[in-house]
Amino acid sequence: MAQRAEQLDSIIRVITPENIAFEYRVAGPFRRLPAYLIDLVVIFVLCFAISIFLIPLLFVSPGTAMFIQLVSWFAIGWFYCGVLEAIFNGQTLGKWLLGLRTVNYDGLPINALQAIVRNLLRYADTFLVMAGLLVMAMNSRFQRLGDLVAGTIVIVEERHWLTGIAKLDDPRAIQLAAHLPPNFVISRSLAKALATYVERRRFFHPVRRREVAKHLAEPLLARFGLPLDTSYDLLLCSLYYRKFIADRGADERQFAAATQAVGPPPGYGQPPYGQQPVYGPGPGGYQPR
């Protein structure tokens, strides 16, 4: 995590009062523009609806109707976004729909003052259309002028599904795990690399998997004394299985079960080009809901 924050991307770290650092993704102009457009549409629809609603009153008392209409135009046009952000914890309707939220520079919620000021200054940001975009491009947190003055940022509130442990689709990985040297300790960085690879491997074609896995698997095969034509992909899966799913004792039991399922241990050769891998419920693999 420590190295993530120094990356050149739009992730910022927030230290909470609980002394935990977690990460936010800052929303760029092209996420925020649609939210703003939605809000603009809502503003127009609201103004229009008020006008329609006032039509009956127009016959009774045209002056009052005009008054209500102009005052509500003024209030909605200038304060719609600010008031909504103050009440709904940094979200207007557009932001709510697109999963954005305005927060303080240090990740805490904004107060009413900030919400109103940053939205009043929208006029300066839309000056010559480009002013806000230009300012956004010049700082690392995509703050427009109103954001800078109010000390706020807009973040993405992503939904991220809990995927758990990746499913292993090939029981041979478990068999191979039994052949790994028992005293081999999987280091922290290796575990990270294994997890990243196995979680993503289902998006790759077997040939591509082989190419990616080669760099890690080739030296490991030589070190373990396994036949060099062992499938690289399978080796990484078995290491992953060893590290994340089962310990050595469970390995033995699973090994027996897997042997029964597939028959005698085959050679762990590369799958022939074009052959579809066997998909099945991975033994011990956690099923995402």
Q: State yes or no: residue 14 binds other proteins (CB under 8 A).
A: yes
Q: How many CB atoms lie within 10 A of CB 230?
A: 20
Exposure of 108 by Cβ count < 10 A (0-12 exposed, 13-18 middle, 19+ buried)?
exposed
Block residue for tokens 């739009």: 10
C-alpha to C-alpha distance for 4 and 7, rounded to whole angstroms? 5
DSSP states along 129-155: TTHHHHHHHHSTT---HHHHHHTEEEE
Nearer to other proteins, 167 or 172 (CB): 167
Q: Which of residues 96-135 bind other proteins (CB under 8 A)?
A: 96, 101, 103, 105, 107-117, 120-124, 127, 131
Q: State yes or no: residue 281 binds other proteins (CB under 8 A).
A: no
C-alpha to C-alpha distance for 42 and 95, rounded to whole angstroms? 12
Q: Which of residues 194-223 bind other proteins (CB under 8 A)?
A: 195-196, 199
Q: Which of residues 144-173 bind other proteins (CB under 8 A)?
A: 145, 148-151, 155, 157-166
Instruction: State the nearest-atom distance from the C-beta of 220 to other proteins, in Å.
Output: 18
Q: State yes or no: residue 258 binds other proteins (CB under 8 A).
A: no
Nearer to other proteins, 148 or 176 (CB): 148
Tokens standing for residue 170: 């090939």
Instruction: State the nearest-atom distance from the C-beta of 129 to other proteins, in Å.
Output: 13
Q: State yes or no: residue 247 binds other proteins (CB under 8 A).
A: yes
Q: Which of residues 53-72 bind other proteins (CB under 8 A)?
A: 61-64, 66-71
Nearer to other proteins, 60 or 228 (CB): 60
Instruction: State the nearest-atom distance from the C-beta of 140 to other proteins, in Å.
Output: 9
* CA R_g for the chain: 29
Instruction: State the nearest-atom distance from the C-beta of 74 to other proteins, in Å.
Output: 4
For 10, residues 6+ apart whose C-beta sits below 8 A from its C-beta are 25, 26, 28, 142
Nearest to 224 by CA among 174, 179, 257: 179
Nearer to other proteins, 92 or 230 (CB): 92
Contact criterion met (CB below 8 Å) for 221 and 157: no
Nearer to other proteins, 77 or 269 (CB): 77
Per CB under 8 A, the segment of 171-179, 201-209, 221-229, 244-252 that binds other proteins is: 244-252
Task: Choose which of 28, 38, 47, 78 interacts with other proteins (CB under 8 A).
Answer: 78
Q: How many CB atoms lie within 10 A of CB 282?
A: 20
Tokens standing for residue 12: 């910022």
Task: Choose which of 33, 139, 222, 227 interacts with other proteins (CB under 8 A).
Answer: 139
Pairing of strands 100-104, 21-26: unpaired
